[in-house]
């Protein structure tokens, strides 16, 4: 059984094709993340699920019902908006109970629900305030409360955290995660923050230009991106893309890397059958910052490279340094205690077992 099924949905504004045939199916209780750069159509898709935008083509099912042409109020959904969209003239309590009131829930029951929800979100002391009197995080919580009170079959979130500052964002992120674990309702969540996507989702759909690029579990998407766009989009700092040349020497695949004036040939121990045909050609090597670290215990499949350090950024738990490999800037994540100096050479270790390759023309992953 699916909780939500989106079948070949398209959307055009005038002549512009904003969504080009989206297919998604998720199971009850799953947490689906829609992620992608600005303007890729995430909000549009979410609004169509909510019934706030008309569907140009295709169908949307919630549970077994075809809701494609239903009014928002008949879809049994709740939504949390980026700007929270709290009703400014109502108190927190009224904000939360408004949806119940409209659905003619009895007063006494409304009371019970509001109490329950506000307890869950720890906003009991705020119930009689107006939204203006709340801080960002509190508003965010009230917006969630409003959605929760309704107990719908699907929650829709449109970048609910993007208006919060970094610290609060981290906190609220955990709360949402926990809430989902506790309440267990199906959630569709839009964001363009990859960390949120990674930490919250059961399933992530990475979108670009109105198309889904890849759909899968966070780890799957992080470790096995299907193309360069997905690889670059997920993860912060981003995956490093190093153009390089593949050679087959004595039946062994090798990749050429240049650093600090020295040329190195690295052996590729992974078995990537598709790579064979690229022998002698250019490819793009993808490696994540945390896969280039300071010298340490020797791993099975790692390669050493002396690099000139161009920028050093300590972030606290780690330090990011920027080096130049094959002429492109490469970010590496090293331990804060590791010794490094600006403009000095530093030996770095590349975890070749995690390295991925892309075709430079199609930008598709080479398997």
Ligand X SMILES: Nc1ncnc2c1ncn2[C@@H]1O[C@H](COP(=O)(O)OP(=O)(O)OP(=O)(O)O)[C@@H](O)[C@H]1O
Binding site for ligand X (CB under 6 A): 13, 16, 18, 36, 38-44, 192
Can you tell me the distance from the alpha carbon of 126 to that of 124, in angstroms, rounded to the nearest whole number? 5
DSSP 299: P
Query: DSSP states of 242-263 as a string?
Result: EEEEEEEETTEEEEEEEETTEE
Query: Considering CB distances under 5 to 8 angstroms, the limit depending on partner class, which of other proteins, Mg ion, a copy of itself, none binds residue 54?
Result: other proteins
By C-alpha distance, which of 294, 348, 347, 351 is closest to 318? 294
**In sequence order, what are the beta bridge partners of 254?**
247, 267
**Residue among 202 and 359 whose Cβ is closer to a copy of itself:** 202
Can you tell me the distance from the alpha carbon of 211 to that of 23, in angstroms, rounded to the nearest whole number? 9
**Residue among 79 and 212 whose Cβ is closer to other proteins:** 79
According to CB under 5 A, which one of 30, 43, 110, 240 is a site residue for Mg ion? 43
Query: Judged by CB under 8 A, how many residues of this single chain contact a copy of itself?
Result: 42
Rule CB under 8 A: is residue 52 a binding residue for other proteins? Answer: yes
Burial class (CB in 10 A: 0-12, 13-18, 19+), 24: buried
Which single residue is written with the structure tokens 């193309």? 227
Query: Considering CB distances under 5 to 8 angstroms, the limit depending on partner class, which of other proteins, a copy of itself, Mg ion, none binds residue 361?
Result: none
Binding letters toward other proteins, positions 144-163, x by CB under 8 A: --x---x-----x-------
CB of 132 to ligand X, least distance (A): 16
According to CB under 8 A, which one of 21, 29, 237, 256 is a site residue for a copy of itself? 237
Do 330 and 240 contact (CB within 8 A), yes or no? yes
Query: Considering CB distances under 5 to 8 angstroms, the limit depending on partner class, which of ligand X, Mg ion, other proteins, none binds residue 77?
Result: other proteins
Residues between 164 and 183 that touch a copy of itself (CB under 8 A): 165-167, 170, 173-174, 177-178, 181
By C-alpha distance, which of 274, 234, 279, 287 is closest to 253? 279
CB of 207 to Mg ion, least distance (A): 11
Helix (H) and strand (E) counts for the chain? 8, 20
Question: Interface residues with other proteins (CB under 8 A)?
Answer: 39, 43, 47, 50-54, 69-73, 77-79, 81-83, 85-90, 98-99, 102-103, 132, 135-136, 146, 150, 156
């Amino acid at each position: 059984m699916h909780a939500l099924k989106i079948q070949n949905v398209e959307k055009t504004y005038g002549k512009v094709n904003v969504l080009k045939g989206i297919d998604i199916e998720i199971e009850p209780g799953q947490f689906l993340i829609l992620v992608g750069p600005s303007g890729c159509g995430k909000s549009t898709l979410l609004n169509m699920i909510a019934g706030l935008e008309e569907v140009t083509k295709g169908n949307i099912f919630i549970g077994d019902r075809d809701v494609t042409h239903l009014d928002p109020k008949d879809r049994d959904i709740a939504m949390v908006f980026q700007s929270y969209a709290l009703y400014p003239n109502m108190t927190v309590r009224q904000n939360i109970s408004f949806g119940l009131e409209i659905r003619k829930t009895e007063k006494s029951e409304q009371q019970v629900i509001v109490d329950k929800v506000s307890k869950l979100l720890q906003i009991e002391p705020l119930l009689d305030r107006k939204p203006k009197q709340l801080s960002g995080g509190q508003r965010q919580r009230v917006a969630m409360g409003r959605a929760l009170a309704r107990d719908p079959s699907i929650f829709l979130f449109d970048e609910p955290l993007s208006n919060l500052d970094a610290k609060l964002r981290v906190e609220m992120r955990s709360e949402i995660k926990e809430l989902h674990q506790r309440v267990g309702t199906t959630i569709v969540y839009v964001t363009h923050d990859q960390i949120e996507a990674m930490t919250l989702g059961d399933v992530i759909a990475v979108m670009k230009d109105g198309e889904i690029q890849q759909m899968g579990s966070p780890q799957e998407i992080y470790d096995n991106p299907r193309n360069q766009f997905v690889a670059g989009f997920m993860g912060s700092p981003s995956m490093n893309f190093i153009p390089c040349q593949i050679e087959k020497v004595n039946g062994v695949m090798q990749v050429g890397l240049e650093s600090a004036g020295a040329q190195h040939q690295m052996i590729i121990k992974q078995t990537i059958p598709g790579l064979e045909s690229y022998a002698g050609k250019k490819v793009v090597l993808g490696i994540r910052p945390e896969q280039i670290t300071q010298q340490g215990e020797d791993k099975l499949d790692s390669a050493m490279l002396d690099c000139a350090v161009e920028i050093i950024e300590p972030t606290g738990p780690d330090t990011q340094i920027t080096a130049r490999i094959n002429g492109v800037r490469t970010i590496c994540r090293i331990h804060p205690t590791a010794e490094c100096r600006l403009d000095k050479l530093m030996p770095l270790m590349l975890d070749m077992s995690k390295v991925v390759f892309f075709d430079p023309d199609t930008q598709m992953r080479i398997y």
